[in-house]
Copies of this chain bind each other. A is one copy, B any other.
Amino acid sequence: MTTSVPPPGFPRNATDRTILALEAFLPYRLTRLTDAISRKFSQAYRARLGLTRPEWRTLATLGQFGTMTATDIGAHSSMHKTKVSRAVASLEERRWLLREPDAQDRRVERLTLSRVGQKAYEDMVPVAHGFETRLLARMEPEERAALLTGLEALERAALED
């Protein structure tokens, strides 16, 4: 019997390098936090109950930039092209989005929100801003500043190479 499990009654403590404290492990904390926040946001934005996350992101990206190609949407919203493709198809079916062929390059489609899609976007934006504002309002000013500093640094550290 050579395993290093502590015998019963021998507490495993947090600084023990043979144990991982899951609740303090950064990837886990981030996942948990992100899931909670996304879930709350999808509650705040009721329409999202019928809108998948890729669809929401596509709506948000087209609303932000106007006319784009599917590839552009993927690049800006960090989605794989298959996700974008399916989201575009579904938004088109909902009649929130229009495709038109590109005159220069016939592989490309120029995507634009329809009037109804634009309206949906305009309704969504204040909900999103309000959600974010209310969330941050629960923190102290110094905490908000710390969060932004820390997040920026972590983004740099995580996304750099």
- Chain B residues within 8 Å of A145, by CB: 146
A157 to B153, CA, bound (A): 21
Say how far A154's CB is from chain B's closest CB, in angstroms: 6
A105 to B150, CA, bound (A): 46
| Contact across chains for A66 and B5 when beta carbons are under 8 A apart | yes
Give which listed residue, B28, B64, B147, B148, contacts A21 with CB less than 8 A.
B64
| Contact across chains for B138 and A157 when beta carbons are under 8 A apart | yes
| Contact across chains for A20 and B154 when beta carbons are under 8 A apart | no
Q: Does A27 contact B (CB under 8 A)?
A: yes
- Chain B residues within 8 Å of A40, by CB: 158
Q: Does A101 contact B (CB under 8 A)?
A: no
Per-position 1/0 for A131-151, Cβ under 8 A of B: 110011011101111111111
